[in-house]
Chain A
Amino acid sequence: MRGDPIRLALGTRFSQETYDALRERSGLDLPLVQQYLTWAGRAVTGDLGVSFRSGDTVTSLIGERLPATLTLALASLVVALVIALPLGMLSALHPRSLIDRVATVVSQFGISVPDFWLSIMLILVFAGVLGWLPSGGYVPLTEDPLGWLQRLVLPAVATGVVSGSVITRFVRSSMLEALGQDHVRTAQAKGVPTRQVLTWHVLRNALLPLVTVTGVQLAYLLSGVVVVEIVFSWPGLGQLAYQAVRDRDFPVLQGAVLLFALVFLVINLLVDLLYSRIDPRIARR
C-alpha cells in the first residue's frame, strides 16, 4: 500500500527534523520485518499496539466501537430476517403469483439500491420531513434506552433492507428446491397436513443454505458497514477501519483486520456447528 503515515500526520508544513523525530517515535524507522515481528509477538498477548494518530491503544479504540457495531449488526439482522423469511417463503409457496413478483421487485430494489442513497432518503424523510427520529448518532443502551432505540431504527433499516433482500432470494430458491423433492410429494400424498409438511419436510431442509447465507451476512455486518455508519454518524468499526486506511494508521488497521478475520472464523464455526443440529446426518458422518 502506498502512502506515508508520517507525511499524512504532519500535513503540508514541517521540517525534516520533525519528520525524522516522529518517524522514530512511531517505530517506523525500524526494518519492516522487525516491525511485523514485534507486532505479532505482542498481538498474541492481546496487545495490538498504539495508533499512530491518537496515541490510544488499538484495543481501546476497538473496544470503544465494538458495542455500537454489535448493536447495529444484530438489529440489522433482525430487520433482514423479518423482511426475508415471510417474503421468501410466501413467494416460494406461490411462485409466479402477484406476491412472488412483488417480492422479486422488492428484493431486486434492496440489492441494487446504493446504501448511501437509501440512508440519506431515510434521514430526509424520517428525521427531516416527519421529524420522528434523530438524524443520527449513537447512545449506549445503558445511558438512554429510548434514545438508543430511536437512533438505531434508521441505520438498522438501511442495512437490514440490503441484507434482507439477499436473504429473501435464498429463502425463496431453497424453499422451492425443497418443495420439489420426492419426499415432500410423498408426504403430501400420504395426507400429512400441509402445515406439518412445510415445517418438518420443507423448512428444515431449506434451512441449511439459509443459515449459511445468514452467517455470511452477519459477518459482513459485523465487519462494519462503512457508508451507513458515516451517514448516520454511527461510531462503528467500519468507520474506524476506513479512517485508519485513509490515515495509513497501520496498527489500527491491522487490529481491525485481525478482528474481522476472527469474526469470519467464529461465525463460520458457529454455522458449521448449527449444520449438525439442523441436519443430524452431518453430525453422524
Chain B
Amino acid sequence: MRTNRLLTLAAAAALLLTACGGGGESVDTGGGGGGGGENVLIAAVSAEPDQFDPHVTNAYASFQVLENVYDTLVVPSAEDLTMQPGLAESWTTSPDGLSWTFTLRDGVTFHDGSEFDSADVVYSFRRIIDEELSNAYRFATVADVTAPDPRTVVMTLTRPTPNLLELIGSFKGMSIVSENAADEFDLQSEANGTGPFRLGSSDANATVLTTFDEYWGGAPSIDGVEFRYITEPTSALTALRNGEVQWTDNVPPQNVADLEGDEEVELGSVTSVEYFYMSMNYAVPPFDNRDVRRAIATAIDRDEVTQAARFGAAQPNQTAIPEGSPWFLEYAPFTPDEDAARQLIEQAGVQTPLTMGLMVTDEYPETVAAAQVIASQLEPIGIDVEIQEEDFATWLDRQSEGDFDAFMLSWIGNIDPADFYENQHLSTGGSNYQGYGNPQVDDLLTRAATEPDQAARKALYDQAAQVVVDDVSYLYLYNPDEVQAWAPGLTGYQVRADSAIDFENVELP
C-alpha cells in the first residue's frame, strides 16, 4: 500500500517535471478531443459545427468538416472554381438542354464499405427535393432524377439550366450520401460519405476525422484531422505559434501585416469570391431616387472603406465578382468625388441634411467598421448616417420586414452569376429585400438563365451587371481576402477563393 502511494507520488512528480521541463519550446498537446497519433493535423477553426447532416446544415463551421468527408458529383477546381469531375466522371447534355446524363466513377466505396452507384445519387437528390431541405431551391428546374443503370444518372429539366453543374456541385450542401443513409445513420452526428476522411468523434471541444484508406482518390498521407474550436483569434494564433495546432483560418485582417514577417507562421491568402455590399431601400424616400443613390455611390471611397474594414486585406470592387473569375467584369463607373455627389443630390431636389439609418451586424464585425467610414464620407454631402448595430437575428428580421433605410452584408460562395444576380436583382428575386425592379435587368437575367452558350451568357450578365451597378441596386464594396495561416513546413494545402477547406493532400512538417 505504502509503496503504491510512493510510486504514484513519484510518477506525479515526474509528470510535473516533464511538463515544466519543456520551457519555451513546446507544451503538451495530447489528449485534447481524443485525437491520436503523431501524424494528425490539428486545425483551429473559429466555431463549432452545429450538426453534420450536409443536406440540412447551413453553418460554415459544419461545411469546413464536411468538405473532407463527403463528395459531390462535380466539384469546383481550386484554381478558378470551374466545375471538374467529382463522383461523376463525365457528362453530356441533350441538344435541347433539357436532359443531362452523368457517367459515374467506378470503384468508389462509402465509409461503411458499400459500393457507390447511381441509386445513391438519386436517393441523395430526392431526399433534398422531397423533404424540402435547405438546398431544395437548387433543384427548381429539375423535373426528375433517374438511374437507368448503376453507372448512369439522368437529370431531366423543365427548362435549360446552363448552371446545373454549379447548382449540384458548388459546395458540400449537395453531398452524395449512401442510399437510405437517413434511416441507417443518425446523419446529424454520423456520416457515411465517400470523401478522404471519415467522421470520427465530435464533442464540445473538437471534431476528429480519421483517414479513409479506401478513398477513390488515394488515401491521404496524414492519419486524420482534428478540428479544434478556438473562437478568439489571439488564442488561435498563440496555439499555432506554440505548435498546439498546425493550421488556422482564424486570422483577423488587422493581424495580417504582422504575420507576414513572422517566421513561425506561414500565411496564405487569395481574393475570395465573397463580396461585401451596401443596399438601400427603394420603398423609403429619398432612397427610391436614382440620383440620390448615385450620389451616395459617388461619395463613397471604396479604398478607404476597405482599409478601415479589412486593413487592406481585400480588393475594392464596384461589381460583384473579383478578377480571376471567368465572370469578372471590369466596370468601375464611380470615382470618389464630393462635388459631383453634392451636385447629384441637388439635381434630385432633395432637402439636406437628411438622415439615413445604416443597419449593420456584429455577426460581420467589419460591416461596423465600414459603416463608420461610410458615415464620415457621406456627412460632407449632407447625409447624416445613423449606424444601427443589431445582432444577426434582429438584423435578418428587419431586413425581411423591409424595416431599414440601408444595410450592409456579404454574400459568400459566389460561383455562378445566376445564383448571385437572380436572387438579388430580379424584381421577383427571393433576396431582393431592397425592392429593386428594372424590366431591362429582368429581361437580361431571364435570358441569361437559359442561354447555353457560355460567351453569350457572359455578355448578357455583363450587361445586367452594368445596369445594376448604374442603378445602385447594390452598392458593391469589396471582395475580402481569404487568409489562412499554418505551420512552416506544412505542404499540400491551398487557400481557395470559395473558402472551402480541403485537407486531402496535406502533409505535415
* B386-400 CB contacts (< 8 Å) to partner A: 391-394, 396-397, 400
Taking CB atoms and an 8 Å cut-off, the chain A residues in 210-252 that contact chain B are 230-233, 235, 240, 243, 246-248
Query: Contact between A150 and B28 (Cβ–Cβ < 8 Å)?
Result: yes
**A147 touches which of B23, B32, B242, B392 (Cβ 8 Å):** B32
Measured in the bound complex, the distance between the Cα atoms of B430 and A13 in whole Å is: 8
Q: A126 CA to B204 CA in the complex, in Å?
A: 24
In the complex, what residue of chain A is closest to B128 when comparing beta carbons?
A18
Instruction: Flag the segment in A53-61, A105-113, A196-204, A259-267 that touches B.
Output: A53-61
Query: How far does the Cβ of A66 sit from chain B's closest Cβ, in whole Å?
Result: 11
Inter-chain CA distance A27–B333, complex, in Å, is 49
The answer to whether B25 and A2 have CB atoms under 8 Å apart is no
Centre residue among A2, A134, A137, A246 by max chain B CB count within 10 A: A137
Is B205's CB within 8 Å of the partner chain A?
yes
Is A3 part of the binding interface, using a Cβ–Cβ cutoff of 8 Å? yes
Is there contact, CB below 8 Å, between A21 and B238?
no
Q: Across the two chains, which residue of chain A brings its CB closest to B245?
A: A135
Given contacts A12-B411, A53-B50, A150-B19, contact A131 B27 (CB under 8 A): yes
Give the complex CA separation of A243 and B48 in angstroms. Answer: 10
Nearest B residue to A133 by beta-carbon distance?
B27
B261-296: CB near A (< 8 Å → 1, else 0) gives 000000000000000000000000000000000000
Q: Is B39 an interface residue (CB 8 A)?
A: no
Quick check: A15 and B58 within 8 Å, CB to CB? no
Chain B min CB distance to A272 (Å): 34
CB within 8 Å of A: which B11-40 residues: 15-16, 19-20, 22-34
Mask, B96-140, CB within 8 Å of A = 1, is: 000000000000000000000000000000000001111011001
A128 touches B238 (CB 8 A): yes
Q: Is residue A278 contacting chain B, with contact meaning CB distance below 8 A?
A: no
Please give 19 more A-B residue pairs, beta carbons under 8 A apart, in addition to A2-B393, A120-B234, A134-B27: A4-B393, A7-B397, A15-B430, A18-B133, A21-B131, A53-B50, A54-B188, A123-B234, A127-B27, A127-B242, A128-B238, A132-B27, A136-B239, A144-B31, A146-B15, A230-B232, A231-B232, A233-B229, A233-B232
Selected A-B contacts with CB under 8 Å, 30 pairs: A2-B394, A3-B396, A7-B393, A8-B392, A8-B393, A14-B137, A15-B132, A54-B188, A56-B189, A64-B203, A65-B204, A120-B232, A123-B235, A124-B234, A127-B27, A128-B238, A131-B27, A131-B242, A137-B230, A138-B204, A138-B205, A143-B31, A230-B231, A230-B232, A233-B228, A233-B231, A233-B232, A233-B235, A235-B229, A248-B393
